[in-house]
Structure 1
Amino acid sequence: MVYYPIGIQTFSEIRTKGFLYVDKTQYVYDVCHPGKFVFLSRPRRFGKSLLTSTFDAYFSGKKELFKGLAIEKLETEWKHYPVLHFSLASAKRGTVEDLDSLIQYQLESAEEEYGIENRDSFNITIRFRRLVEDIYRKTGMQVVVLIDEYDAPLLTVLHDSDKLEPMRTELQSFYSPLKDLDPYLRFVFITGISKFSQLSIFSQINNLKNISMNPKYASICGITEREMMDNFQEGIDELGKANDMTKDEVLAQLKRKYDGYHFAYNSEGVYNPFSLLSAMDDSAFNNYWFSTGTPTFLVKMLKRFHTDLTKLDGSEAGADDFDAPTENMHSVLPLFYQSGYLTIKGYDPILSNYTLGYPNEEVKVGLMHALLPFYVVKDPVEARTAAGKMYLALRKDDIDEALEAARAFFAGIPYQEGTLQDAPTSEGHFTAMLYVMFSFLNVYVYTQVRTAKGRMDILMKTDTTIYVMELKLDGTVEEALKQIDDKGYAIPYEADGRRIVKVGIRFSSEERTITAWKIVA
């Protein structure tokens, strides 16, 4: 029987208690030879804490934990360095006092572990510096510093400039000694989701190596296709039995729901490790990653930058955008990428432009669930009921019945609900509402799809049918269908093999719902 380490982030516990471990120790060795100051950004629940714990065990010289792993054949010395392991993951209350207490507690624990006297200093800059220097003098060994989730306190207050600045100042006080401590340090490894460039951790450590988008380390977190096939055969078989699916069907479903993350151009895609492990453990295909956290701060950032939701998938960003300071960014794209809601889908080396998109079905559908109260209706239960009716209709290839359910749903939304009061006469606003609802159906939906002669409003794909849909606000369905034909929106899909259906939709700004549609098969 395979034991999956769901939520276990300690390397030693995984290795000593017989949990499945996907070997990433080759990367561990490569990163710190000859690396000294290293930063890695990855989304939440992607194995950053486990990786940090693996560095802890490695530099602590715990050779027995690495038996049978790649690093066992690479390392010959197995030195035991003093390790300072900090985590700021729990500092999410949004107050400087809470953050300071957490840092002071971890500094005090390290002092007790190494028998270092505090000397009555509660200035975290001085206390941290003295701790490293005293450990070096006491042991004669350089110190390893590991800082996990360094930006967790900042992300909590990212939307609140009044709280962001004092929080940043507090962290700056903690990180500032690292540059001057260089002679006393063997290795510094820092993880987080985003990059706050103005912190001293980035502005003063001139030789900090950011490996976040380095192709060599694209698979340092996450699980590749090969790793899945090598380690999860029993789980794949159990998924097939539990869901009455063939092995090929299981693999296709796993790829569709959990694969697709790319952290460098031309890199191998990786599966979300938390979702993949959870699916294997439960023998079910649920939306695990998204259910562990609601992206409230992302919704606030969408509104702050007046982002067109329908253009996130397929958006383009320059190479410099990924290095943009999170606190000074001018669009949501860097943060959505760093947080795992968008990933690299393509790269143009001539223009140095990346094409971004949703990694997989789990992320897209989960995000639409979270956005329902902000874009459609405050009560998600109403939306789920309507979406259920639409889904059953689409299962029967009955687009007419699906649109009737959508019409009734939108007509029943009070004017003040959701964001209807923000842009009641915007065609893009109504397109976004339809986009969220259709995406909620667990089918492939694209909006503002580029063609040779323009952009179609909505492209929806089911197993059997491709729907080319054009929306006219206060116009006519005939105008919508004529635009589909004149612009040749359906032509690129004629060789697909699935049935092509053209749909013209009229949305009334006065009645705030769909009032007419026409279907041409």
Structure 2
Amino acid sequence: MKKNLPIGISSFVEIRSEPYYYVDKTQFVEKLVSEGKYYFLSRPRRFGKSLFVDTLKQAFLGRKELFQGLYLEKNWDWSVRYPVIHIDFGGGDVSSAEELKKWILIQLKRCQRTLQIECEYLDDYRSCFEELILKSYEKYKQKVVVLVDEYDKPILDCIEDRETAKAVRDVLKNFYSVLKPLDAYLKFVFLTGVSKFSKVSLFSGLNQLNDISLDKRFAEICGYTQEELEEVFREELEDKDLELIKCWYNGYSWLGEPVYNPFDVLLYLKKKTFHPYWFETGTPSFLIKLLLEKRFYLPELENLVATDSLIGSFDVDRVRPENLLFQAGYLTIKRMFRLADKILYELSYPNKEVKLALNEVLAEYFTGDTGEVSLKTRDFLLALEENNFEKMKKALESLYAGIPHDWFRRNELFRYEGYYASCFYAFLCGSGLEVIPEDITNKGQIDLTVLYRERVYLFEFKVVDGEEADAKALVQLKEKGYHKKYEGKCKEIYLIGIEISSGERNIKGFFWEKLN
């Protein structure tokens, strides 16, 4: 749909210099307000959370003129206007609890100016917040709406410093605790964020908060469905490959219909080229360090099974990689199922953008690379194109040679077979190759399988302590008969056994054999 609208309504963008394009999500505004009072929504960054918060704000302010032609125009009581306190933590960077207190006071002073209210407690953020709610109620003779956007950003800003993060968390906990005792003065409370911290640690004073992050009824509250994409952007999509767009940018699921990342779609339509636009807006440095610290086996990212607790809330001193990967948008729900009395979730990459970009960064970090992974990728792809195994070996030797020796002094990574397989897996995925990790056969599972131009390459890894390589990895591949899965499906089948020296921390043996 096209319409000349002021900024601040639902999910829209000006792609060209003429009309605005928007996707009407206002039905969710009416649904939320009619069914409850306290809500929390977790979604990845740049997924439209702030835009939805602003839509809520404009509705409660009674700005009917902004909603012409939208669902809410005829499904909202425009005769009532409410005082709105809007706190946005997305615009500031916090490095200490004291900085956070100052930032909260800045936000509250801005709200005072907007509401034309003067508070006496100008140096106490908690008392000021409480006073602002009460005075707003008294002045406007209506219950107060509280909207908090990016509630968790102050914690995430300093998550690598656990003690500072705890101190920041305690300030926020004290701040949000103001709300529960003032229930009689509140009309509606809505908080958004990327991560979901434990209610015990952050919202102990707000236990009535309804988390709709995995509520199927609100699964499409942010993001574009396939129908919305094709209807709203019909003209821009006339000469585009819809399946390829879907492969790159769709796939995010919160137990409902998969949706597109709006940020990616809008930039793709503007620039007309596929690129990891969303991924490049943030560097997951803490997450990558956590994956290494926990010795996470990267091929598991293709098909990770998690419980409610693993993808649910967490705390500063109890962070799991699975949790951050899901909440930050690097993994998404592919299906939900039950085993006994447990609800389990199968997680994987949402789309091609995330798989390519994340693994490229992982390959660089896990190998201590200084920006040369792209060159090694080029060398490996050329070797694969030529089917030149000596060049493949040299490219991998160069990859492993970059691993910092200091990492091995601090832990036992040099004895960890999965580490070398993880490095190779990230390298291959970041190259854009079709990779199958832990490829299951009726005889067992292959460490890594690569499909390329009607050829299949089966890889097996071994860490060896001795001076000489003995081709045991290749022998295992042959004895297990893993290749039979691909007989008749690929023109050429190759077995490759890679043996890593625990002493030299690089390839000791690289053995290969063609089977057909």
TM over 0.5: yes
User: Aligned-pair distance for 1:344?
Assistant: 0.9
Cα 1:69–1:514 change in 2 (3 A) is farther
- Which residue, 495, 501, 507 being the options, matches 1:503? 495
1:91 is displaced (CA, Å) by: 3.3
Distance 1:268 1:463 in 2: 33
SS state of the match for residue 509, structure 2? strand
In the alignment, is the contact (CA less than 8 A) between 2:86 and 2:148 conserved in 1?
yes
Q: Quick check: 2:61–2:84 contact (8 Å CA) kept in 1? A: yes
* 1:516 match: 510
- Say whether residues 1:227 and 2:219 are aligned partners: no
Task: Report the 3-state secondary structure (helix = DSSP H, G, I; strand = E; otherwise coil) of the residue aligned with 2:498.
Answer: strand
- Give the SS at the match of 1:270: coil
Following the alignment from structure 2 to structure 1, what is the Cα–Cα distance between the partners of residues 76 and 37? 17
CA displacement at 1:343 relative to structure 2: 0.8
Residue of structure 1 in register with 2:284 after alignment: 295
After TM superposition, the structure 1 = structure 2 runs for residues 387-466 of structure 1, keeping only pairs within 5 Å, are 387-394=377-384, 396=385, 398=387, 400=389, 403-410=392-399, 412-413=401-402, 416=405, 422=411, 423-462=413-452, 464-466=454-456
- The letter for the 1-side match of 2:362 is L
For residue 517 of structure 1, what is the amino acid of its counterpart? Answer: F
- TM-score, structure 2 normalization: 0.89
Other structure's SS at 2:24 match:
coil
| CA deviation after TM superposition for structure 1 residue 316, in Å | 1.2
Does the residue aligned with 1:180 lie in a helix, a strand or coil?
Answer: helix
Pairwise CA distance, 1:317: 0.8
SS of the residue corresponding to residue 28 of structure 2 reads helix
The one-letter code matched in structure 1 to 2:355 is K
CA deviation profile, 1:393-418 (whole Å, cap 9, x unmatched):
44x36263662442452365376377
- Alignment partners' CA distance in 2, 1:13 and 1:332: 31
- Residue of structure 2 in register with 1:322 after alignment: 311
SS in 2 for 1:54: helix
1:198 and 1:325 in contact (8 A); partners too: no
The CA distance in 1 between the partners of 2:472 and 2:93, in whole Å, is 52
Specify the alignment match of 1:379 in structure 2.
Answer: 370
- Deviation string, structure 1 residues 364-405 (Cα, Å, up to 9, x no partner): 22112222332113312x2111101222344x3626366244
Do the aligned partners of residues 114 and 508 (structure 1) sit closer, same or farther apart at CA in structure 2, a change above 3 Å counting?
closer
- 1:298 Cα offset (Å): 0.8
Cα distance in 2 between the residues matched to 1:36 and 1:230: 32
Asked whether the 8 Å contact 2:473–2:497 carries over to 1, the reply is yes
Q: Distance in 1 between matches of 2:234 and 2:439?
A: 38
Deviations 1:14-71 (A, max 9, x none): 5898421111111222122122000000011111111111111111111111111122
In structure 2, the partner of 1:43 is: 44
Q: Deviations over 1:163-219 (max 9, x none)?
A: 022101211221111111111111101000111115675222222110000111111
- CA gap of 1:25–1:392, structure 2 versus 1, over 3 A, is farther
Indicate the SS of the match to 1:32: helix
How far off its partner does 1:100 sit? Answer: 1.5
Q: Does 1:347 align with 2:336?
A: yes
For 1:3 and 1:440, how far apart are their aligned partners in 2?
A: 40
- How far 1:467 moved relative to its partner? 2.9
- Unpaired stretches in structure 2, ≥5 consecutive residues: none
Name the residue aligned to 1:244: none
Alignment correspondent of 1:145: 146
Q: Secondary structure at the match of 1:53?
A: helix
Instruction: Return the offset for 1:124.
Output: 1.1
Counterparts of 1:458 and 1:123 in 2: how far apart (Å)?
Answer: 58
Q: 1:70 to 1:470 in 2, by over 3 A?
A: same
Report SS of the residue matched to 1:326. Answer: coil
Moved more, 54-63 or 406-415: 406-415
1:397–1:110 distance in 2 versus 1, CA, 3 Å: same
How high is the sequence identity, in percent, across the aligned residues? 33
- Pick the aligned partner of 1:484 from 469, 477, 483: 477
Classify 1:198/1:336 alpha carbon distance in 2 versus 1 (closer, same or farther; 3 Å). same
Aligned Cα root-mean-square deviation (Å): 2.9
Instruction: Report the TM-score when normalising by structure 1.
Output: 0.88
- What SS does the corresponding residue of 1:285 show, helix, strand or coil? coil
> 2:351 maps to which residue?
360
- Within a 5 Å distance, the mapping from 1:71-470 to structure 2 comes to 71-77=72-78, 79-198=80-199, 202-237=203-238, 240=239, 247=240, 250-264=241-255, 267-329=256-318, 331-350=320-339, 351-380=342-371, 382-394=372-384, 396=385, 398=387, 400=389, 403-410=392-399, 412-413=401-402, 416=405, 422=411, 423-462=413-452, 464-470=454-460
**Mean alpha-carbon deviation: is it higher for 183-192 or for 385-394?**
385-394
